[in-house]
Structure 1
């Protein structure tokens, strides 16, 4: 129109008439006229048509389609493709960055292995984990009406298969309560950090306010995915920051940590409480007269078990011993586990004692003939134990008897860990690791709960909890395995040969090996961002896989 306005009036009328006549013709005649015009055009004019016609034919189908259809199309993309789509235009960016898409992407990958891509992301931090699980349940109700199906689940694995591993370090996070006035300033500082950077989504969670009307800061799900992706990439490429601390004067026998504290027990009969962030010693708990063999803590209290035959219950924030339980008169405490008001203690004589903490009543289980190295509660009335007698036993706490014995190890069984999830086998992960799948007779075991045990015969064994069948035997360590822990993505083992190995939970492939020291590794602990190792020389080593720039 600008070029037309620069012409004389007579030519403007003439050209406008030609356009008007062309617009009034039928489609067949328009095509005929165009064919004649193309035949009359010279080379420069044909070049102009070659440039102009593609621009006229280019249609942004994402902008033209209804938003629901566009979101449906984008929901079939992986994370990398979504990020690339967001760079096409502002319209595409507003669609590709939609919180619905990224929430589903988080649901598909966080704390599980995606069956399509073969990768998984670590769990959120403790404060964000509770909100993540709540919003996942809320969004499953909201999204069912927004789109007719879950497109991401249709590409990858079903959404109803998503389960979360129980975390012994945070299992009591929601049960503990302290009046605001008596919460230590250090705890308030950590809580402030959690609220400032809490992993919460804008559109997939309800914005809640406190009594002063303050609205908590929300984060997009894309940011949450990106943060977890950085940590996951560090795990895959084995990038970490290492910190070494002389925690005790003698060997460390047990370690546990969460976002606030790390607690260690040692041959020197002491329990040390550390700041998890700064690795500074917060307090020293004394009272045991022999080595501290086992410990476990939650938000409120700490249980420590010693070879002096006692279990002490501490308020570890103040350093006060609340109660001392004389568990065994003729042997020491080797292992313990506390869950939902039940305390289980394994002894040096092969006896297991079960306490009801609220009523302070107890009973004994007998069946092992040697040290009970690990005890784990499972469900409401089930207990698992492993011993130096090379056996793993399953107990019914209502009947107070052993209902199944797992045999197969050829040396002392030192540790066991349980999963409430099935063992998710990823085809993609297996192909990448070069590992063969389990035999077809075990294919139906992929959704069943499982148990992993470590022994001084240098092997780990994976067991089907329900049937008692050994699903796999994992080799790799040169000497015996003293400790192991695992989550939904990886297994960590510590050995008498001074090495720590990290394994893929799905394929059982060894991902990498840490040669930490010449001393034996007595205990290991794992979270979604770090590995903590305690050795026989009294050192604690922390391998932090978080983003080095955060």
Structure 2
């Protein structure tokens, strides 16, 4: 009887009477015309991830059923599939009203994964990229592993270019981490054209050859903040090296202009492949992790027979230059460490040097400065004028400044062909640096730092605070940004502001936590809120401290304590400060927080000079060795 009723229902065009409520609402004829949804659009089926629904299991269970039951279930599915959307809702409501708790629990577990929608694949690409732009580096890498479509978007060059802009050569305001500057980018910046405009000879005291013009290719300085500065000490052993000597005050003219030109270069038509920004970011992140974990390779340059007092290097030229008490300047290959050339000419120890693409300028205790063509080793000119040994030198395209044992600063103007003297210090002038707005910063054994206006040739500000001889004073370059002048906030507050956004994944978090535990709460303060481009001066002194000054106000904004003897060498960039001391150690400090991150040991004598790059520290020592601490990716 039941079979007959079922057949009658089928003949009448109605489905089997599963439930009286449902049988009254299923229409005799259903339409198949409906709009396809996200799960059934043919153009999206291949793009989206497969459902977690196991159709093989359903098929197996169907095969275990009888023929009539299988046909009935198939018919129900067919009716539901062909029903319009509003009728589908009615069917589902009816089915839910008949479900028991086990069935409802089953629906809850099965529906949840089916509701996941790959919205990234169906949205316009511009909107998807905008969504991805809010992700950090770790999230983008995770998104790239979801599917091919996600990988295509997560690896977009625009996103990673923005990520590089946010982190490279600066600290991100969201996460507080920064990555080293690009080596290739910096090299490109350094490749500037030489100034070949006609200039006048510097006047000679003897009056010979003073009016003949000269075309002087005066290229820009490659490393303003990496050239080392002369040092001194109060011990008897070092006083013997600082004997004050006198000399005449005359200097000669350049012999010829062609000898200062760099070796000829050729250009090829080869188009270099532009590296993806994700690859660039990845490389810089590995370098930054090496800095954080103090993971480096070390090479030693040996050859000087006495203490090395100054060092400078250039990545683009692949050279390191050092000056020593053995009266020589040595030029080394930066990559291999091989000695390229030895320059001889000074009669006393070389205390200062600086070079660019075309020339090298050295200062020595023989009271002279020498200008060399370092490509050929030829001494182009000897400048005399100081009545004491030359302790420091700095130059740009138009000016050169030198500090001396005679307590004066001489400024040599290449454009105007003149030389004048700045007086005011009462002891040896250990450091001179040209800075922006036609100014000069000097540090002296009289424990003061002075700021000079080169237009009026007067001292416009004096910085007092050190209680020992100032060995080095370095002004910040143009557009240098920092957070030293903002109000202090704690490291914990910094981390709360970051909201866990880290480019360095777990390594950054682990390092940060261990660093916070290693310092006292009072010293663990940082100025991380607002970036400032207010000019700074960084100084190192024999009072064992490094001080950071506000150049405009003259106020000391921070003092770095850690060395147990005098600081002789100093260098810094936007991310870190590196100092070398008479205690034979090198300390690496965080630029923003002022925390000492690492202490490097290895030299057998006082560390006299420091040069800092994106991936390396180069230190010179009184033990005669030069050490390269390389944090790069190998």
TM-score range, shorter chain: 0.7 to 0.9
Aligned to 1:161: none
* CA-CA distance at 1:417 after TM superposition: 1.3
* CA-CA distance at 1:318 after TM superposition: 1.1
Aligned to 2:400: 343
Q: State yes or no: 1:180 paired with 2:265.
A: yes
Aligned to 1:19: 78
Aligned residues: 481
Match of 2:278 among 216, 222, 226: 222
Q: State yes or no: 1:525 paired with 2:611.
A: yes
Choose 1 or 2 for highest CA Rg.
2
Q: State yes or no: 1:371 paired with 2:456.
A: no
* CA-CA distance at 1:58 after TM superposition: 2.2
* CA shift digits 1:432-459 (9 cap, x unpaired): 44544479xx988944111111100111
Change (3 A) 1:25 1:101: closer
* CA-CA distance at 1:494 after TM superposition: 0.7
Distance across 2 between alignment mates of 1:51 and 1:411: 74
Aligned to 1:485: 571
Aligned to 1:264: 322
Aligned to 2:352: 294
Change (3 A) 1:130 1:321: closer
Which runs of no fewer than 5 residues in structure 1 stay unpaired? 135-164, 182-209
Question: Which residues of 2 match residues 453-464 of structure 1 at below 5 A?
Answer: 453-464=539-550
* CA-CA distance at 1:498 after TM superposition: 0.8
Aligned to 1:108: 166
Distance across 1 between alignment mates of 2:325 and 2:369: 15
* CA shift digits 1:199-251 (9 cap, x unpaired): xxxxxxxxxxx874x43211100000000000000000010111122230000
Aligned to 1:465: 551
Match of 1:360 among 402, 417, 434: 417
* CA-CA distance at 1:465 after TM superposition: 0.6
Match of 1:95 among 153, 174, 187: 153
Q: State yes or no: 1:424 paired with 2:483.
A: yes
Q: Any conservation in 2 of the 1:303–1:313 contact (CA below 8 Å)?
A: yes
Change (3 A) 1:14 1:423: closer
* CA-CA distance at 1:87 after TM superposition: 0.8
TM, length-normalised to structure 2: 0.69
Distance across 1 between alignment mates of 2:334 and 2:125: 46
SS at match of 1:180: coil
Distance across 1 between alignment mates of 2:284 and 2:401: 35
SS at match of 2:279: helix
* CA shift digits 1:43-76 (9 cap, x unpaired): 9998986676445422101112221211111111
Distance across 2 between alignment mates of 1:476 and 1:237: 19
* CA-CA distance at 1:358 after TM superposition: 4.2
TM, length-normalised to structure 1: 0.79
* CA-CA distance at 1:353 after TM superposition: 0.5
Q: Any conservation in 1 of the 2:490–2:526 contact (CA below 8 Å)?
A: no
Q: Any conservation in 1 of the 2:309–2:609 contact (CA below 8 Å)?
A: yes
* CA-CA distance at 1:77 after TM superposition: 1.3
Distance across 1 between alignment mates of 2:92 and 2:146: 33
Change (3 A) 1:445 1:351: farther
Change (3 A) 1:298 1:539: same
Question: Which residues of 2 match residues 204-283 of structure 1 at below 5 A?
Answer: 212=269, 214-259=270-315, 260-283=318-341
* CA-CA distance at 1:133 after TM superposition: 11
Q: State yes or no: 1:385 paired with 2:442.
A: yes
Q: State yes or no: 1:118 paired with 2:176.
A: yes
Aligned to 1:160: none
More deviation, 250-259/36-45: 36-45
